[in-house]
Amino acid sequence: MNFKRFKMPLFIVASLLFGIKTYIMYRFMFNLELENQMQEFILFINPFVTAFLIFAISVWFKKQSRQMKFIRYSALAGSLILYFNLVFYRSFNDFITAPQLFQASNMGDLGSSILTLIWVYDVLLFFDVAVIWYLSRKKPDILAVSYQKSGKVFALAMSFLLLAGNFFLAEMERPQLFTRAFDREYLVKNIGLFNYHVYDAAVHSKVKTQRVFADGNELPEITEYVDDKVKSEKKSPLHGIAEDKNVIFISLESIQSFVINNEVNGEEITPFLNSLVGDESTYYFENFYHQTEQGKTSDSEFLVENSLYPLSRGAVFFTHGQNEYHGLSEILGEEGYYSTVFHANNKSFWNRDQMYKSLGVEDFYGEAAYEVNAANSVGWGLKDKPFFDQSMKYLQSMEQPFYSKFITLTNHFPFELSEEDSSIDKYDSNSSTLNNFFPTVRYMDEAVEQFFNQLKESGLYEDSIIVLMGDHYGISENHNKAMSQYLGKDEITPYDHVQLQRVPMFIHIPGHGDGKVISKVTGQIDVKPTLLHLLGISTEDDIYFGNDMFVDDRKGYIALRNGDFISNEYISTSGICYNRDTGEPVASEEKAEEKAEDDTTTSGHNQDETPCNPIKQKVEKGLEMSDNIIYGDLFRFVDFNKTDNTKNDQ
């Protein structure tokens, strides 16, 4: 390289500035938990490794102007990628995936939600870009931009050497990092955000080809697994108890179970839902978990309709909306039910207009079906009370029996509500999100009570079963400090975080009389077979991954989409196996796996496994098979009306 007059290569300057900025963001703006010094070291070096790899490409440009232009725009593009991920992370505590880039059409509907995630001081995150542009345009004489061929080769070789070293350390710290990549945070911590995006794009390309090469031969193994490992041979004691009744399903936006039978500022948060917990016609599942991932509400719909797991990347509603499914709406339609969805949002949000057709939903009452104005809307749209009120005229005119789903809106981030609509005061903590959460939850509770009364007045109440389910969490890990304050804890541990993924689940059967609180571990994957059995509909020839929530011989665990799980005895998360009752760690799964590699018998069986490991293997198998169904669009090869479940024509 030519270092005459002590000129500093521009790509080195850019690498240092961009690397420092990226490390600061990793360390202090993303909530990346570091468990040891090796993780700290890897997190420190990977921003510089990536920056050097990108900016070193500039040395191969012959013209100085093109070299400087490449560095300037690379710094700007890299900073925008970092910033978009930061804004996304502030809301979802996650990183953007390739499929979500196709969900950009949703952004126009987010409104104030996005504005609350953009902070004034964010402009400082582009300081390095400004410096690079200033130096390249105003001070080019102090920078080295001309290199001999040997220097260019050296820069390229050093780039790949550093990258290989980064990957080697990452594999040492987290064996099988790429083959067991359930957790995007692990990838970002070990290989950096930009290399993660490259990896994610490669995975996306791979799975897009999976449908092309699928031929249905994958189905026998999946069917055998479902029949042997998932389905129960016993019939629910409530099988057929709601035969021919209407099904009214209420999706409760962003509510979590910690608000049930709890107070804020001395006031009940959910007085009506609390009354259902002890109601003789209601079954309340107190250990019911949401299992959504990046698709949030749409993922919860997907789980309920199909008893398949959502994808770990993106939203199935967007990425695979044209697949063949055997959804709850379709099955009920075959049994004479009229299926509808009520949601005061536009039909294209989450690609509902396409996906509902694939699921067999006959009619969608979206935003156009409602009178929405400034007085009756807030945040994401029509408030819940006028939403239910305006829905009644449609519900009363329907031919029975019907299956109607209502998706609420008011209790949605950023949890906006006027003082006039607020029945309880906000909480007082360092998190405005948590503070605002409680009044909007109360408002939703009051709206549901109003809806129950309207159903009774209309005469529909006695002829229906009413299901109320939380769709996903409302308070993310970014608000753990405020959450620990509210719950009276010193901190929110990984165990606590999993327990906070419990959402309310009520099945209300008017006039039943045997309702109770059920403590068994259940989840959204279980809703489809449960409802079908309550209605007396057979699921013998169906393919699904949940269990009837009223049977005892269940598979014994609930899998979260990131690979964590909750079983009857244990909770597995963050590489730690916890006792579910006490919250005490049983052992570190990572350490047990590492030790087991050197501590095996000749038969190859691990000698020092945690109690969570056998279940973890089942969880990974189930997630993989569900993914195969979606990525391969395998239900196009199935005729669910035939006992052998296979189509003759492919």
pLDDT at residue number 649: 42
Q: What is the pTM of this model?
A: 0.78
Quick one: which of 210, 416, 405 has its CA closest to 298?
Answer: 405
* Strands 585-588 and 576-579, sheet pairing: antiparallel
Given the residues 22, 50, 97, 297, select the one marked as catalytic.
297
Is 223 among the residues known to form the active site? no
Quick one: which of 341, 336, 335 has its CA closest to 356?
Answer: 341
Contacts 24+ apart (CB under 8 A), 126-130: 126/76, 126/79, 126/83, 127/21, 128/14, 128/17, 128/18, 128/20, 128/21, 128/75, 128/79, 129/72, 129/75, 129/76, 129/79
Q: Cα dist. 148→136, 151, 425, 520, 587 in Å?
A: 20, 5, 69, 70, 55
H helical segments located in 279-327: 297-306, 316-319
Domain boundaries, the chain: 4-209, 219-569+611-637
How far apart, in whole angstroms, are the C-alpha atoms of residue 1 and residue 150?
8
How far apart, in whole angstroms, are the C-alpha atoms of residue 407 and residue 471?
9
Burial of 203 (0-12, 13-18, 19+ CB in 10 A): middle
pLDDT at residue number 102: 60
Q: What is the DSSP track for 364-399?
A: EE-GGGS---TTTEETTEE-HHHHHHHHHHHHHTSP
Fold assignment, 219-569+611-637: Alkaline Phosphatase, subunit A (3.40.720)
Burial of 502 (0-12, 13-18, 19+ CB in 10 A): buried
Residues of the chain with confidence (pLDDT) below 70: 1-7, 99-113, 142-146, 176, 179-183, 348, 588-608, 642-650
pLDDT at residue number 2: 46
Percent of the chain with pLDDT over 90: 64
Element (DSSP H or E) covering residue 48: helix 37-55
How far apart, in whole angstroms, are the C-alpha atoms of residue 320 and residue 355?
8
| Cβ proximity of 239 and 268 under 8 Å | no
Please state the separation of Cα 325 from the chain's center in Å: 21
Quick one: which of 240, 250, 247, 275 has its CA closest to 261?
Answer: 275
What phi-psi label fits residue 111: left (phi over 0), alpha (psi between -120 and 50 degrees) or beta? left
Burial of 584 (0-12, 13-18, 19+ CB in 10 A): exposed
The length of the chain is 650
